[in-house]
Structure 1
Amino acid sequence: MHLKLSQLPAKPSNLHRLILIGDIVGKPGVSIVCQSVPWLRSVGHIDSIVANAENAADGAGLTVNQYKKLVEAGVDAITLGDHIYKKREIATVLTTAGNIVKPANFPPGAPGQEFCTIQTSLGFSIGIVSLLGRVFMRPVDCPFLAADRVLERMPEDCRIRLVDFHGEATSDKQIIARYLDGRVTAVLGTHTHVPTADESILPGGTAFQCDVGMTGPYESILGRSITPVLNTTLTFDPNSFHVATEDVRLSGTWVDCDPSTGKAIAIGRLVLRSSDLEGS
């Protein structure tokens, strides 16, 4: 589904619209996010913007300067995944800033906070959680127990709760979504860089999608230049996998939610190119 901002459905005045922007890859991904934020606000009527930025620094990690650039552009909160510590400098931000989270099922001693809350212009707060999957991923603690622990600690009046589940397997993502159905507003997947066409509202009122997709260059292999990836795959000759540069898109998923109940009312996919922004 390739929606321009002008094609987003009208947002009822009593609902809050948030978006999770999928894995930001390299400088092209950071650039289009910064370019898109004003349009997301004014034309898309997006109230809160959350972005997964774990691939922002040349495809692995996040630098302090990139963090500052995203926040200054208007991103409200940042989630991270398995590449969280690829740039060691981000550890300082993780332990001091109030709008960025580590996966909650990392060990307690890992730098960063298990969840964060952001304040909206209407005075209510939104809880942001990141969890890492365990199927085909690095060894981590149980995401189900971590989710229970974090939700128990989250303020009761923080009814809108977004979970970024950073995982490889669709089964892993579906299971956690069913486990959390009715307890969080949305469970939206990241990590695979490929958007899935399974957005839905679960019976308990939780919005769900296996993967919201990649924000970065789509003339690529998961954001990396095609030729060196092909060459290494075919010959085992080692190459550096640089971030590609062409066909840059923002991929994300928006959710309309009821601030009084925390339930999701609507969900939709959004893909933007620079040309879409120029023509809006």
Structure 2
Amino acid sequence: MRILFLGDIVGIPGRKAIKDSLARIREQESIDLVFANGENASGGYGLKAKHAKDFFKAGVDGITGGNHIWKYKDLYSMLDSDKRILRPLNYADHLPGTGLRIFEKKGLPPVAVFNVIGRTFMPPIDCPFAAMESALDALPADIPVQLVDFHAEATGEKIAMGYFLEGKVSAVVGTHTHVQTNDAKVLPGGTAYLTDLGMCGAVNSCLGMKPEIILDRYLTGLPRQLEAAAGPGILQGAIFDIEDTTGNAVSITTFKQNDRP
């Protein structure tokens, strides 16, 4: 099984790059399933229901979330009704949606995708390690492939999660910091790992946002409302090959491509 997992989609450039390039990339790379973190897709913060639907039309099989997933209330009902979209599982159970979805495609074994959010330098939240442990304990044994999107700020917390889940899941990939890291590897237990997938957004930007606004905040110390940058987009993420029967990762490579062929 060959899977592409894309990093945080940011604003119009990220959405356009998905629309214009994903079908071609799927064919060129012989991709079976595509997942993406969509929590920054709508104006740089949050995910509108209409944009989630656009991603599905473009060929994204599943969408994960993060700390901005609650911004647009029109997504709430979709979090409950559409089994292709997730929010972090360590949010309270009574909130819309779930942090675990099972994806099934003809000719492939079922794939479990988990979405969990970190605590270090992040708003207060339930323990992501305990949440993952409980979710894995409840997962049926006949689902060999499991992917984890760990939406977290601190690299150390992400690396710790990788080793915590080593040998228990097929892949652990980090999102949220928007900078693709250079540590893609398969851990000895057969778990593919990458600290951060990067982002799908404007090439000339500061984490997908307008650089001049970021600079003004640093130079003056005054609050400014961030805005998604414009211009050509880039897609970033990782491709991993996974054994269908054991769920062990065979390889992981970082992926980066502009929205032009």
Q: TM-score, normalised by structure 1?
A: 0.90
Deviation at 1:121, TM superposition (A): 2.5
**CA offsets 1:176-208 (integer angstroms, 9 cap, x no match):** 110111110000000000000000000100000
Residue 152 (structure 2) pairs with residue 155 (structure 1): no
CA distance in 2, matches of 1:157, 1:149: 17
Equivalent pair of 2:177/2:196 in contact (CA under 8 Å): yes
Q: Which whole-Å CA distance do the structure 2 matches of 1:153 and 1:208 have between them?
A: 23
1:47-91: per-residue Cα shift (whole Å, max 9, x none)? Answer: 100000000010110001001100111110000001110111111
Equivalence for 1:7: none
Unpaired stretches in structure 2, ≥5 consecutive residues: none
Q: Tell me which stretches of 4 or more aligned residues in structure 1 moved more than 6 Å.
A: none
- Matched AA of 1:183: K
Partner of 2:59: 74
Match status 1:225 vs 2:210: yes
- Aligned mates of 2:199, 2:99 — CA distance in 1: 24
Render the CA deviation track for 1:150-194: whole Å, top value 9, x for unaligned: 112222211110000001111101111101111100000000000
Deviation string for 1:11-41 (max 9, x for gaps)?
Answer: xxxxx00011000001110111122221122
Q: Deviations over 1:202-234 (max 9, x none)?
A: 010000010010100121111111112212221
After superposition, the Cα gap between the structure-2 partners of 1:123 and 1:44, relative to the gap in structure 1 and judged at 3 Å, is closer
Matched ranges for 1:94-113 at <5 A: 94-113=79-98
Tell me what 1:187 maps to.
172
Structure 1 unaligned blocks of 5 or more: 1-15
Aligned counterparts of 1:40 and 1:131: Cα–Cα separation in 2: 27
Residue 218 of structure 2 corresponds to residue 209 of structure 1: no
- Match runs of 1:246-265 below 5 Å: 246-265=231-250
Q: What is the match of residue 40 of structure 1? A: 25
Is the Cα–Cα contact under 8 Å of residues 6 and 197 in structure 2 kept in the other structure? Answer: yes
What SS class does the counterpart of residue 271 from structure 1 fall into? strand
Report the Cα distance in structure 2 between the residues aligned to 1:77 and 1:22, rounded to whole angstroms. Answer: 12
Q: Which residue matches 1:6? A: none
Partner residue of 1:142?
127
Distance across 2 between alignment mates of 1:218 and 1:95: 34
Range with greater deviation from structure 2 (65-74 or 33-42) = 33-42
Shift of residue 117, structure 1, vs aligned partner: 0.9
Structure 2 length normalisation: TM-score?
A: 0.97
Of 24-33 and 151-160, the range deviating more from structure 2: 151-160
Match of 1:13 in 2: none
Distance in 2 (CA, whole Å) between partners of 1:30 and 1:142 is 32
2:16–2:233 CA contact under 8 A, matched in 1: no
What amino acid sits opposite 1:227 in the alignment?
E
Aligned to 1:240: 225
CA deviation profile, 1:93-149 (whole Å, cap 9, x unmatched): 101111111111111112111200111231421001011111111111111111111
Amino acid at match of 1:252: G
Q: Pairwise CA RMSD of aligned residues?
A: 1.1
